Amino acid sequence: MTAPFGTRLRQAMDTRGPLCVGIDPHAALLAAWGLGDDVAGLERFARTVVEALAGEVAVLKPQSAFFERFGSRGIAVLEQAVAEARSAGALVLMDAKRGDIGSTMAAYADAFLAPTSPLFSDAVTVSPYLGFGSLRPAFDAARASGAGVFALALTSNPEGHEVQHARGADGLTVAQSVLRHLAAENADADPLGSFGAVVGATLGSIDADLDINGPLLAPGIGAQGATPADISKLFGPAADNVLPSVSRDILKLGPSVGALREGAARFVDETRTAIG
């Protein structure tokens, strides 16, 4: 059985640096690269990002929706990107944000967390807003395959506030309840649990306990306004477990492989300096 995701992620962050780069082939970015908004452009984009960065950064994060919009041919490109990225040494975090109940959640878990699936990834993002317990099939599948799960907790989009900051009968916010559940899933894990939280880097301040003994995926670095210097200020003692996620500020440097690598290296250096 492969080492748990948390162990592999800790090693990758320590050796390659704390950085997750999104693979987000939206139409405007394809156009900026001089590519068509079609399957051929999608494949060229994905293969270029993988070629440039899979051997350099800790994590690559394909956004499933940008591939799904092209139907079965887009999914085939996604399968290829996942396989090639993992083969080149990157951990792959599938940004799918799935969330459902019962057999449907189990099917999503099979799609992304079963080693026999062509979309098998090192980890997947999920939505806990049908109740944290509804995600049990994903956690069970991840444990069985040595994969990881990142649950949405404190996202930076303004619409998330009404749900994530609502309080239950116990007085806890929904976000804090999600974080507590994740901490329980990671109990006794060493050096890092495999079950992480998504916490936006653009929040400004966080009134929550982030000590979950697991990774904290922090989108919003770069084009969305947050900087590596904000990580220590925002995450405090948990900063060492933060996995900053950058997409546009690196991807805009393509299609040059060298420029993509230089951009990623710059973010790694800035993050290491900021976290210390």
What's the mean pLDDT in 19-46? 98
Q: Is 252 part of the annotated catalytic residue set?
A: no
Tokens 């490109």 belong to which residue? 77
Place of tokens 């996620």: 245
Residue 247 pLDDT level (bands cut at 50, 70, 90): very high
Q: Which residue among the candidates 61, 97, 233, 252 is catalytic per the annotation?
A: 97
What confidence tier does 275 reach under pLDDT thresholds 50, 70, 90?
confident
Instruction: Please report, rounded to a whole number, the percentage of residues in the chain having pLDDT higher than 90.
Output: 92
Residue 276 makes CB contacts below 8 A (sequence gap 6+) with: 232
Q: Which of 36-50, 79-93, 121-135, 219-233 is the least confident region?
A: 219-233
Q: How far apart are CA 170 and CA 226, in angstroms?
A: 33
Which two structure tokens, joined as six digits, stand for 5?
């995701």
CA distances from 162 to 153, 173, 179 (A): 12, 10, 17
Residue 276 is predicted with a pLDDT of: 78
Query: pLDDT tens digits for 103-124?
Result: 999 999 999 999 999 999 999 9
Is 144 within 8 Å of 138 (Cβ atoms)? no
| Mean pLDDT rounded to a whole number for the chain | 96
How buried is residue 55: exposed, middle or buried, by Cβ count under 10 Å (0-12/13-18/19+)? middle
pLDDT of residue 214: 98
Mean pLDDT of 250-267: 97
Average pLDDT (61-81) is: 98
Beta bridge partners of 198: 152, 217
Q: What is the pLDDT of residues 136-185, one digit of tens each?
A: 999 999 999 999 999 999 998 989 999 999 999 999 999 999 999 999 99
Examine the pLDDT at 46 and tell me if it is beyond 70. yes
* 119 token code pair: 């979309």
Residue 1 has pLDDT above 80, yes or no: no
pTM for the model stands at 0.97
pLDDT of residue 204: 85
Question: How much helix, strand and coil, in percent to the nearest 5, is found in the chain?
Answer: 50, 15, 35
Average pLDDT over residues 16-31: 97
223-234, pLDDT tens digit by residue?
778 888 889 999
Q: What percent of the chain has pLDDT over 70?
A: 99
Average pLDDT over residues 69-92: 98
